[in-house]
Structure 1
Amino acid sequence: MDTLISRFADHLALAGRSSHTMAAYQADLALLAAILQPAPLHAADANELRRALAKLHAQGLGGRTLARRLSSWRRFFDWLQKNGLRDDNPASGLRAPKRDKLLPKALPVDSTAALLDRIEGSDALEVRDRAIFELIYSCGLRLSEAVALNLDDVDFADQLLRIHGKGNKMRLAPIGAQAIACLKTWLEHREAESGETALFIARHGRRLGGRQIENRLRGWAIRTGASQHVHPHMLRHSFASHMLQSSGDLRAVQELLGHANLSSTQIYTALDFQHLAKVYDNAHPRARKGIKPDEDS
C-alpha cells in the first residue's frame, strides 16, 4: 500500500504540487490506511470511509480538518479509478461534517478605545496613523477602502465619507467626531508630492500602501501593550460588533459595512450573542457553576 501512496505522490509532483501539499496528502492517506487496517486502503468502500470520518470526528477533529482529509482521500481514489486500479470512487458521494464557522475577531469596546487613545505624538507619521485607525474604526472600512481614499472623499461640512467599496460600489458613511478631529490634524501635517490626491500618504509623499498600514498598526499594538495581534480588519470587525451591540439594527450595519448580502452581516449577531452570554454568565446569580443551594432551604 505504501507503494500506491508513493506513486500517487509522484503523480502530484508531476502535476506541479508543492512539497507541502504532497506531504499533507500522504499524511491524510497514511492516517486512513491505519484506520482501515487490516483491510487494504485501495479496496475501501464508502461505508468504511464514512466510519473513518465518524471515528476522526469523535476524536475531536473539526469540520475544516475533516473536509481537507476527505478531499485528499477523494483525490487519491479518483487517481486509482483513472489508472484502472478500481471501478469507482467511494469518496465521491461523502460529505464531511459541517465546517466550524470562523467568527471574525473583534476587540472589546474598552480595548479599542485604549489602543486608539494611546496612538499619539506630534510627528507627522504618528498623527497620520491615529487618523487612519480612527477613520477605519469610525466608518468600518476595509483596508483596501482606506488605501483608496482621496482628499475629496471627505466631506467635513456634513461629516460624511465617500467610500469606494468592492465591485466599484460607492457608499456614504458618517464620520465620528473623534475621527474628524484627527483628520483635520493630519491635514495640517500632510505634505504630498505635486498632484497626489491620496488622503493618506507615506513619508515619500505618495499614496500609503496596505502593507504599510498593517505594519504600523501591528507596531502600535505592541507598543501600547495589546494582548493580541491586531490588524486593520479587526477594527472593521470591532466597528460592526459594537454598532450591532448598541443599536441591534442589522440592516443599518449591513449598509454601513457595504455588504451586498445580509448573510455576510449576520455573522456579527453571533459575536453579539457571545457578548450577551458573557454578561449573563458574569451577572446572573444562577448562571455560575459551583453555586450551592442554601442549607436551610
Structure 2
Amino acid sequence: MATGQAPDDDDTALIQAYLSHLRVHKRLADRTLALYTADMERLRQQVQAQGIGLRDVGSHHVRQWVARMHAGGRSPRGIALILSGWRGFYAWLGREGLVKVNPVVDVRAPKAPKPLPKALGVDDAVRLASHADTDEDPVREARDACITELLYGCGLRIGELVGLDISAAGDARGWIDLDDAVAHVLGKGSKRRSVPVGTAALAAVRQWLLAREAWAAGDPAMFINPRGGRLTPQHIRLRLRRRSAQAGLATPVHPHMLRHSYASHVLQSSGDLRAVQELLGHASISTTQVYTRLDYQHLARVYDAAHPRAGRRNKG
C-alpha cells in the first residue's frame, strides 16, 4: 500500500468487526466505544502513513509511533491509554487467528515524570502558622494552632501527629518532651525517631496543654475533640483546610503539604540533604532528593527576580 493511500478494504473490515465485537459481545457503553473508535482511527492513520496493513504491524512500528506521539507532546498517560486500545485489538486478532504475534504486548508508554511535592512558599507557610482565629472557641483555636505548628515546625506525618500522647508511656506511640524540646514519634515501618521542636512550636504545645484541661480529657491523646476522644486524620485535614482559607492562602493546605514545606525550607536554609533525611525519617536518601528539585526552583525564582541579566532567561 503506497504512502498516503486510503486503508484497504481488509483493514477497514477488521476495524469494523472489532468495534462490532466490542459493542455486541463486550456491551461497552457508548462513551467507551467512542474512545476505542478513536484509538482505531489513530492506528489506521499510522499504518496508512507507514504504507503497511494492520496485520503487517511489528513492535518496531509501534515503538516508532510511541516515540512520535511523545515527541509531539502527548502525555505518558494518554499514550498508555492508546496502547491499551491497540493491545486489545491485536489480542482479538490473535484469538481470531488473523495474526500470530501481538506487536503491542511488550511496548510500554514512556514513564511519567514524578510530580514534585506541593510545598508552600516561606511567606505563605509563616502566614498560616502565625494565623489566629479570634472568632473561634479559644480551646479549639489553641489546639488547631498547635497542630499547625507541629506539622510545619517538625515535619510530622499526619499519622505521627495523631499518635502523639500527652506524656511518655509504655504503650504510647509518640510524645513530646518539653524539657528537651524533642518530639518522639512512631513513623513508617514502626520506626521511632526523634525530631527537634522549635521555640514557636513549644510555645504552642504549652498553650494547648493548658487549654486542653477545659475539655473532658478521657484519652491520653495529645489532640482531642471536646468530648475527649482522639482526633482522626480526617478531622485534622478538614480543620487545616479551613484554617488555610481563613489565613488567605490561595491553595487549600493539607497536612502533608506542610511536611513538604518543612523539608523544602530546611533544605533551602541549610543545604544539608542528609540532615533533612534524618529529620523526615526517610529510609533512603533518594526519597529526600526530590526536595533538591524544589530547592532549585526556589533558586531559579530568586535569580529571575534579582539578577540584572535574568530578563533574557525569562524571555527564553
TM-score band by shorter chain is 0.7 to 0.9
Is 1:136 the equivalent of 2:167?
no
Q: Which stretches in structure 2 are left out of the alignment for 5+ residues?
A: 1-14, 168-174
Is 1:32 the equivalent of 2:42?
yes
Aligned residues of 2:70 and 2:79 also touching (Cα < 8 A): yes
Deviating 4+ runs (over 4 angstroms): 8-14, 19-25, 37-43, 82-85, 191-195
CA apart distance, 1:156: 0.3
Give distance in 1, aligned partners of 2:31 and 2:146. 42
Is 1:59 the equivalent of 2:69?
no
Decide whether aligned partners of structure 1 residues 82 and 174 sit closer, same or farther in structure 2, where only a CA change above 3 A counts: farther
Q: Which stretches in structure 1 are left out of the alignment for 5+ residues?
A: 292-297
Amino acid at match of 2:154: C
Is 1:163 the equivalent of 2:196?
no
Give distance in 1, aligned partners of 2:280 and 2:300. 25
Amino acid at match of 2:197: I
Aligned-partner SS, 1:119:
coil
Decide whether aligned partners of structure 1 residues 80 and 149 sit closer, same or farther in structure 2, where only a CA change above 3 A counts: farther
Q: What's the % identity of the aligned pairs? A: 44
Which is further off, 48-57 or 173-182? 48-57
Decide whether aligned partners of structure 1 residues 216 and 30 sit closer, same or farther in structure 2, where only a CA change above 3 A counts: farther
CA apart distance, 1:132: 0.5
CA apart distance, 1:2: 4.4
Superposed, 1:8-23 pairs within 5 Å as: 8=22
What's the Cα RMSD here? 3.0
Aligned length, in residue pairs: 287
Decide whether aligned partners of structure 1 residues 114 and 197 sit closer, same or farther in structure 2, where only a CA change above 3 A counts: same
CA apart distance, 1:166: 0.7
Alignment partner, residue 290 of structure 2 = 267
1:225 to 248, 259, 280: 248
Amino acid at match of 1:7: H
Structure with larger Rg: 2
Which is further off, 145-154 or 64-73? 64-73
Is 1:175 the equivalent of 2:197?
yes
Alignment partner, residue 109 of structure 1 = 122
Aligned-partner SS, 1:151:
coil
Amino acid at match of 2:66: L
Aligned residues of 1:8 and 1:76 also touching (Cα < 8 A): no
CA apart distance, 1:13: 7.3
Q: Taking structure 1 as the reference length, what is the TM-score of the superposition?
A: 0.84
Amino acid at match of 1:255: E
